[in-house]
Each structure stands twice: as structure tokens, then as C-alpha cells.
Structure 1
């Protein structure tokens, strides 16, 4: 997925007139910001800073395999892009379809215990209750409600 053309265009008069409102929005969001939740196990967030396929999920899978080979019980947490799951569920590749949990979750479930749900904190708690030593959040960098021990940014060299 390429970045939209308008991201690189010169600013219009309207966008300049809206700048004061952006500062009001920034102040309001700063005042409304909650303290991120800390968990009893390490949390790794993997994400990117550009729109589209930078390779987050393959990075998550590769890192997870290395951690599991090091005898670290690693669980993967996803929101489940286009999934119908509202509550946190453990993905079973033989039971769930891509419509229920998303295609990336099925890929991840092939190598590690994987949780999908709109509420990442709930998924992390489920992982902890099921013996996780560490969790990896796929596309987790935009979620400021969870404190992480390590952030990994994935870049696509073509964008």
C-alpha cells in the first residue's frame, strides 16, 4: 500500500487556517492521556511508521520462533484486521476462519499461541493466565494504553 499523494503536497489555505484547532486537539488529547498499563511479563511491540506492508507480521513470526527456540513461552497479540472477534479469543487454526480472526492471526497461530481481540489488555491477561512468559503485539506501536519493554519499528525500504 502506497502513501496517499496528498501527504506530500503543499499546504492549502484551509489547512493553514485549521492549525490553531490542531493545537487545541493536541492539548485536549494530552490532558486526556491515561497512564499506560504495565504487565508482569515483558511486552514487545512491533509496528511501522508508514502505511501498508512493511513486514510486521513476518517479523513477529520470526522473532517468536527464535524466542520459542530459546524456551521462552511467547504469545502473539493481534487486534485481528477485519476480524469479527469482539472479545479476546485464542486462535485455533483448525477451528477459526480468516473472517473470524483475520488472515495474519492464522499465520501467527501456526507458530505460537495467538490471541485476537479489540482489547489488547484483555488479550495480554488471557495470555498471562495461559502461561505466557512474554507477549509480542503485532502492530502495537499505536497503542499507548500498554507499556512496553521493547519497541521494534519495521521499515520497508521501498517506501
Structure 2
């Protein structure tokens, strides 16, 4: 309830000066001071930032909620691989039960390594290591795969303990809300700080808001990427279904389920394809089906019911419901955008 209320408050274009402001603005001021102090301590050498022997590309965000980092990382890895570049990925593995540094393997579970690293591995098959310390994960990856040429760090803009050559900052389609810091707004860091000079590339969906203001963060052009659902969904039983076949009257009962930061974005994309949803089940981000079980709506399904889910949820949901169909979210990058990344990488390595 509190999270939903906060999100509504964050998205108000001009929040009023009511009780919420009186409570939240001082907390945001305190939070902002802590963030600035922490970054200052790293910049001035009081805290150590460690380097890896290969270039590091950080893909992260400063806005709370789903920005689309995971499909962007998948697209970026695939494009670099097509150019013959050997890529590895490091991540924290949010929500996992284990704490040690682990390699993500085919037999790994989301509970062990996190749902997003597992999804990236299943889609790309590149080496991926998870650890609280991305530097530790990177060293473990390079020890196991010494031919790796580039490491992509998932969600690492605030992880200052690892040095990086290029930073991509991804913004969600709905923009920056009221532009305030947590908890008075959705921002993890102020967009006015000197740290924004370290952002090399700003990324936002073509349907996104605030593109003009985001252009001020970097001299590089804003990457406008297109996100769309694949027309084909698949399940753990090896079956596939065309979403177009679900856009019919008097078809099967269709439930959509999403345990992501912005479930409504998934439901809206399905509806945009003409899929008529009997039920849309929004769950908490990183929802653990193994621990919390299936939502009650899914216990009452008939044989002709179709359940659609995100790929991120599928890696956990399939253990209980292998017949659920995962709908991939796809991001396409242009050759010019990949060229831009590599050019910036070389520029920062050899200024």
C-alpha cells in the first residue's frame, strides 16, 4: 500500500505542499546529502575504486522502478557477440538466497543467482558471475574465462567500488516523475550533480518522456530504443503460441502475470497487440513463486485458460506452472548505436 501511494505521489507533475511534503522533503534532503558524501569519498580516494584488466561497461539507472535494463543488456551482448567480441556479465543478483560469488549456469535457479542474471544467461549463453562486489565477480569471471574482452556490469551506476570505462544510464518510458530524490521522488541521485558528467550514453524508449531534459546529461545523443513484445510466446513444455491467435473474440480465458517493477507496462503492451485479458495479476518485483506460491487466481484455471508472463517471471514460475507462456521483451539496437558505444569506449581508454 505504501509503495503504491508513493508511486502515485512521485508521478504527480506538481505535488502539493501538504503533509507528504513536510514529511518526505527533509528525508530526501538527508538522503541526497548521504549520496553526495559517499560519491565524494570515492572520488577523493577515501574509499577505493578497483579496476579490472578489461574494459567495463556499466548499464544502470537512477530512477526507481523498471527502466528496461535487462532487455537492453541482452541486446547489447548479442550485438557485441555478432561483432566477434567476447563478452561477460557481472551482477549482484538481487533477491538471491546465497551470498557467495557464483557463476550462473544452465542448471542455476533464480533463488541461487537472481532472476535477471539467470534470464540474461538463458538468452545469451555468455559467462555471468554474481556477487555483492562486482569487482569480485569480475575477477572470478576473468579467472574462469580469461579470453573475455569486455565486461558488462548490470545495475552498477551506484556501485562505485568498481571502476568503469563507459556508463549507460537507462531511463524508464515514464520519465523522471516529479524529479525529486527518494523518498520524495523516484530518483536515486540528483540529475543536477557533477556526477552526471560521467554518464557517457543516455538511453530511453522512443515513447518516453523528458527526452529534452535528458539530453542535458551528456554531450552524446540520447539513444532512443524501441521496446516491444515478441509476437511468439513459449513455455517450458516446448510449446509456442502466436499472440495474434489470442487477439480474437470468444477465445480462451487469458491471464497475464507480472512480478516486475512496472507490471502495467507488460499488460499495456499485451493489450496493444489486441490480447483481451480476463485478469491482470500484478505482483511485487522479484516475486518468489517458490516461497510465496501461485496467486489464488491461477489455482482456479480451466484447461482452456492461457497464462502469459514475462521472461523474468518465467524462470521462477515454470517450476510450478510449466505450461505458462513467457512473452519476450525485445530491444533492438542500431549499428550506429553500437558503433557509438565502441567509439566512446576507445575514447575513454585512450583519451
TM-score, normalised to structure 1's length?
A: 0.83
Question: What is residue 144 of structure 1 aligned with on the other side?
Answer: 160
Aligned residues: 157
Q: Secondary structure at the match of 1:154?
A: strand
| Superposition deviation, residue 105 in structure 1 | 1.3
Residue 83 (structure 2) pairs with residue 70 (structure 1): yes
Q: Deviations over 1:57-97 (max 9, x none)?
A: 1111110111111121101111111112312111112x111
Residue 158 of structure 1 and its aligned partner are, at CA, apart by 2.1
Structure 1: state its 5+ residue gaps. none
1:107 aligns to what? 119
C-alpha distance in 2 between matches for 1:22 and 1:115: 30
Cα RMSD after superposing both structures: 2.8
DSSP 3-state at the match of 2:136: helix
Over 3 Å counting, the alpha-carbon distance change for 1:22 and 1:153 in structure 2 is: closer
Quote the Cα distance in structure 2 between the aligned partners of 1:15 and 1:155. Answer: 23
CA distance in 1, matches of 2:165, 2:136: 18
Q: Point out 4+ residue stretches in structure 1 off by more than 2 angstroms.
A: 1-11, 13-19, 21-33
**Preserved contact between residue 70 and residue 116 of structure 2 (Cα < 8 Å):** yes
Task: Summarize the Cα distance change of 1:146–1:6 in structure 2 as closer, same or farther, 3 Å threshold.
Answer: same
Number of the residue aligned with 2:22:
12
- State whether structure 2 residue 47 is matched by structure 1 residue 34: yes
After superposing the two structures, state which structure 1 stretch, 125-134 or 36-45, moved more. Answer: 125-134
Cα distance change, pair 69–88 in 1 and its aligned pair in 2 (3 A) = same
Structure 2: 5+ residue runs without aligned partners? 176-351
Instruction: For 2:24 and 2:173, locate their aligned partners in 1 and report how far apart those are by CA, in whole Å.
Output: 33
Structure 1 distance, partners of 2:115, 2:31, is: 36
Say if 1:92 and 1:16 are closer, same or farther in 2 by CA, change over 3 A.
closer
SS of the residue 2:54 aligns to: coil
Q: Which structure exhibits the higher relative contact order, with contacts defined as CA atoms closer than 8 Å and separated by 6 or more residues?
A: 1
Higher radius of gyration, 1 or 2: 2
